[in-house]
Each structure stands twice: as C-alpha cells, then as structure tokens.
A and B are shown apart, each in its own frame.
Chain A
Amino acid sequence: MSRFFIALLALPLALGWALAPASTAWAAPRELTNISYDPTRELYDEYNKAFTAHWLESQGEEIAIVQSHGGSSKQARTVIEGNEADVVTLALAIDITAIEEAGLIKAGWREEFPDNSCPYTSTIVFLVRKGNPKNIKDWGDLVREGVGVITPNPKTSGGARWNYLAAWAYADRLYNHDEAKVIDFMKKLFANVLVLDAGARGSTNTFVQNGQGDALLAWENEAYLALAETPDQFEIVAPPTSILAEPPVAIVDENADKKGTRDLATAYLQYLYSENGQRIAGKHFYRPSNPAIAQEFKDVFTLSMELITIDDPLFGGWDIAQEKHFNDGGVFDRIYSND
C-alpha cells in the first residue's frame, strides 16, 4: 500500500524535474526582454531574428530575446509592477509616460531616438466587404443612412480613441472648426455603430466572424492582419484624411542598468531605424518612419493620406484630448447618450 503512494508522489516529482527549464546559468546568453502590445507579434518575431543575427555578426555575441504581448496599458502596468523589461515598444506614448512617472524610465525618452522615438507609425482605415457594396470611400460615407459601422468603445479601448479622433479630425476640416456641427456629425456616426465592443479584437470578430456591419474602423496593420487571415472577403479603404498613430519605443532605464543590458537595449531599438529594420516594419504593415523605405511600400500604404497627429492644435496632445473627449462627462459621453 505505501509503495503505491510513494510511487504516486515520486512520479510527479520526477516529471517536475524533467519539465523544469534546463538551468545552464553559466552558459546562458544575455537576455533582452521586449514588452510590447498585441498586434506586433509577427513584426517582432521577424525583427528579433534579424537583430540577433546582426548582433552576432557585428559583436560576436549570442543573445536571447524574450517577447511579451498584451493590451498596451496592461503591459505598461506589469512593467511598473516589476515585470523586468529592458525595452518597451507600446501603442501609446501615455503608456510609456506612465512607466516614466513610476520612476523606471528617465524623462526625455521621446528625444532618445529619432522621430519622437517612433520607428514606425500607423493610421486608421476602413475594412469593408469585398467589392465595397456600400461604396464607402471617406468618413462622410459612414454617416449615410443604412451603413453599419463597427468600432470598439472609446471608453475601454485605446484603439477606439484613435478611430474617434480620426473621424473628429475629418469633421473638423469639413465644417471649418465649427464644433457644434462636428459633434452633430459624430452623433450621426455613432448612431450608425451597430456593436460597440470593449476591445479592438472583439470588434474585428464582430465584423469578420459574425458578419455584422459594412465598415470596421481599425488600425491599418490590424486591418491587414484580418485581411490575411480571411482572404478574398474584405478590402481596405484608406480615407483621404485620418489620424497618425505613433507607437513609441523606449529603454526601461532602471532594468537595463540593473541587468547590464543598456548597450544591447540601445542597439536593439536603434536597429529598428536601420534600412533592414524599417523594411521589416513595412512588411508587417507598419508604416516605416524613413520616407525612402516607406516609398518602397507605396503599393501597400496610401502614402498620400493626410494624417493629423494627436499633437495637432486640434487635439493638443493625449492628456488634453483624453480629458476633453473620453473622461466621464466628456464629449464622447454627450455624443453617445443620444440627448
């Protein structure tokens, strides 16, 4: 009887030992942890391979890169709580600012790398059904009667805020800064929204899998991912005006210094701006910040789009836009409450 139980206990112990990660600490290569957001997985899969090879060739050192993906704000939160990222590559500058405010990143990180530390950009486009049956070309078409729009809720989704602000920018130009008319346009737009999901992935599902709506508002790179997953059912429409989304990168100073990886982290982020790094970004549907490389992708991206940044006087930066539009009692609440 007791043998039965000794076996019962010995078995998991042996299994556990076999499953434990091999500890070869003395020979382990230096490790770099990149904490990123949801749709950058394939981009960094390829980029990490390229950088590892580049580093081995130029420095003769083998390295290992650990990736983490999740919602941008959630990822920032785990870094603040002690998830030891050497670099962060997130969706929004405010997420990196939150890490800065927690004391992990030194002030001035936006100037540390070119283009406000944004090696690639993206924008908001429309994903429509194949053949564009509702003939949707621009933001104005989305408020037409009988057009169903899918976008996540700006209250809960970072991506949805870009959608909202892009529409706002269009209406602001159309109505020559007449805010009452802009709000009226936004009301019509959100009256056409069929389903207001909590997050971008949920909205994509509603549109792609459940077949609801005529236009999905989405980040350009995510629209391409959805297109790649379900070919021949959808097409991408790039409106003439949209917003410039700038996902920034930064070294997490406290962790890089503690782990002695500053040189590696710096080179890792710098290499994103190299021709090779820029091409990898373009290949994964992020717009390269280097105009010459962006030109190589002119068949993929509509480079003639007029893209308004969040720092445009119209919005005045994230803090101001957040407070005016998305905080409780803000403009979005008025638009969506139907009064």
Chain B
Amino acid sequence: MAYVREERGWARLILITVSFLFVALMLILPLAQVLSKAFEHGIKPFWEAVSDEYSVKAARLSALTAILAVLLNTFFGIAAAWAITRFAFRGKGFLITIIDIPFAVSPVIAGLVFVMTFGRLGWAYPFLQEHDLKIIFATPGLVLATIFVTLPFVAREIIPVLAARGTDEEEAAVLMGAGLWRTFWKVTLPHIRWALLYGIILCSARAMGEFGAVSVVSGHLRGKTNTLPLHIEILFREYHTLQSFSVATILVIVAILILIARHVVERVGRKEAEYYVR
C-alpha cells in the first residue's frame, strides 16, 4: 500500500470524500427516506400496512417464487458449471455465452417472450388450454420469469472456482473407485461450497426484488400473482404512500440480511481457502 501514501494528500482526500458522498447520496439517503416515511406516523400504521392480508400474501408469494427459482437455478448452475469445466464438448463456448444472456437482455423483454409464448396469443396457448394449465398470470409464470433473470448467478460463481482447481483430485477419486456421484459429493462439492452459497445468496437477492419481468407476466391479481415489488408499486400508485413505503421496508430488511449473509460467507470462505492453502 506504499503508493497510496506517496499520493498527494488532497487527491486522496477528494477521492475518498467523493466516494462517500456518492454512496450517501445515491444509496443511503433514498433508503433512509424509505424508512423515515414508513415510520412517519409511528409503528402502528407501519404494522397495519405490513400485516395487511394482501401484503402478507405478496410476501409469501415472493418468498415462494424466489425459493423455487433459486432451487432450480442452483441445480442448473451446478450442472452447467460441472459440464463446462469437466468435459470437452462442442458448443461449450456457445453455452458459456448464452448463460450470460439475462445480464444483457432487459427483464421486460424476458417477460414479453413468455407472454408471447404462453399467453392467449402465443403458440403454446391451445396446448395449455387443452390440458387446463395456466402459466402466464399465475405462479408458474412468475417462477419462470424469475428463473430467467437469475439464471447466471450460481453458474457464474462456481465456474471460476472449478476451473481454477483443475481436475486432479477428481481424477484421483475416480481412479480409486469412486463413482461420479460420490466424487461430486465428496470431492467437488466441498471445494465449491462457499462459491455456491455466495451464488445462491446473490441469486436470492435478485429473485426477491425482481420487478420488470415479473410485472409483465403477473397480471397483478391481488392475493394471487402480486409479488412484493409489484404490491409496493401498486400501493404507491393508489395514493397509499405510507403503506407502500412500509411494505418496501420488508424488502429493505431482507436486502440487509442478505448483505450480512454475503459478508459472512465471504469471510468464512476466504478463511477456509487460506487454511487449505496452508
């Protein structure tokens, strides 16, 4: 860190001040505003807004969609990362690129794609009608949209770790007679578990807060397809600013918990990595 000390004092001061100011202005201030507005009239109106039947249903729905999406993306992420780093096959580069599509594509487009596929005007609609299935404007649509936007998170975290470790230990395990499944559980998983947890946490954060794609496929049926972010927006548009900010507080708290979990995972993971190196 010697070069920092050699830096001229004022440059250092300005950079640090600007960073803090920027973070305060762009992150802390708006969040503080949410909290202060939510508790403007004390705890009682806040609690009424949060414990409202439809707020609770929205929270449950958000949790359910996030859990299902994270679960499916975890399986997919492990499978994809394993395939990409352990096998040689045609189209590998293509697969790596395509996993990143949700980062590049606007969530609204993702939602529209699902509407155009499964909606009343979509090509799959007659089939769905015949079998009495509902995807769009129902929970499956919400889960699909959430999976789409959170798809890269788990895979992206594991791939570098797996790639960096190489295949030596796994090859040794296989030579010693362990099956593929056993090798995965006993050798691969212990190495990637912190990266995996980290990916799951990021994925959950994104899944809970997803707005754009979910908004398109939801239909905003209160108590049925209204997730927390959608519920917050609707409350706001219906002139219930206080309720809206109160419910938003739930999401802020979840975000803070996720940040803490992230921090812990990062620390513990780093310590363990250092231990292995030693």
In the assembled complex, A283 has its CB within 8 A of some CB on chain B: no
Shortest distance from the beta carbon of B254 to any chain A beta carbon, whole Å: 14
- In the bound complex, how far is the Cα of B71 from the Cα of A78, in angstroms? 29
Chain A, interface SS category: helix
Instruction: List 5 tightest A-B contacts by C-beta distance, closest first.
Output: A82-B120, A83-B219, A81-B119, A19-B64, A83-B137
In the assembled complex, A59 has its CB within 8 A of some CB on chain B: no
Assuming A19-B64, A81-B119, is B136 touching A201 (CB within 8 A)?
no
In the assembled complex, 9 residue pairs joining A and B whose CB atoms fall closer than 8 Å, in A order, are A5-B189, A15-B63, A19-B60, A19-B63, A38-B237, A41-B238, A66-B222, A68-B219, A222-B239
In the assembled complex, A2 has its CB within 8 A of some CB on chain B: yes
Cβ contacts A1-29/B at 8 Å (1 or 0 each): 11011001100110110011100000000
Chain A: CB-nearest residue to B234? A69
- CB of B121 within 8 A of CB of A80, answer yes
Cβ contacts B182-217/A at 8 Å (1 or 0 each): 000110011001000100000000000000000000
Chain A: CB-nearest residue to B125? A82
Q: State which of B64, B74, B115 has its C-beta within 8 Å of the C-beta of A16.
A: B64
Chain B, interface SS category: helix
Cβ contacts A135-154/B at 8 Å (1 or 0 each): 00000000000000000000
Interface size of B as a range: 35 or more
Q: State which of B64, B74, B238, B241 has its C-beta within 8 Å of the C-beta of A20.
A: B64
- In the bound complex, how far is the Cα of B95 from the Cα of A194, in angstroms? 51
In the assembled complex, B178 has its CB within 8 A of some CB on chain A: no
The number of residues on chain A lying at the interface, defined by a beta carbon within 8 Å of a beta carbon of chain B, is: 38
Shortest distance from the beta carbon of A205 to any chain B beta carbon, whole Å: 9
Assuming A1-B186, A81-B120, is B220 touching A70 (CB within 8 A)?
yes
Assuming A82-B120, A83-B137, A229-B239, is B221 touching A66 (CB within 8 A)?
yes
Shortest distance from the beta carbon of A285 to any chain B beta carbon, whole Å: 11
In the assembled complex, B67 has its CB within 8 A of some CB on chain A: yes
- In the bound complex, how far is the Cα of B187 from the Cα of A111, in angstroms? 72
Assuming A66-B223, A81-B115, A81-B136, is B234 touching A12 (CB within 8 A)?
no
In the assembled complex, B22 has its CB within 8 A of some CB on chain A: no
Instruction: Report chain A residues within 8 Å CB of B236.
Output: 201
Q: State which of B137, B186, B189 has its C-beta within 8 Å of the C-beta of A78.
A: B137
- CB of B121 within 8 A of CB of A39, answer no
- CB of B222 within 8 A of CB of A70, answer no
Q: Could you tell me which residues of chain A, from 36 to 80, have a CB within 8 Å of some CB in chain B?
A: 38-39, 41-42, 66-70, 75, 78, 80
Instruction: Report chain A residues within 8 Å CB of B136.
Output: 81-83
Assuming A1-B189, A5-B193, A81-B121, is B71 touching A16 (CB within 8 A)?
yes
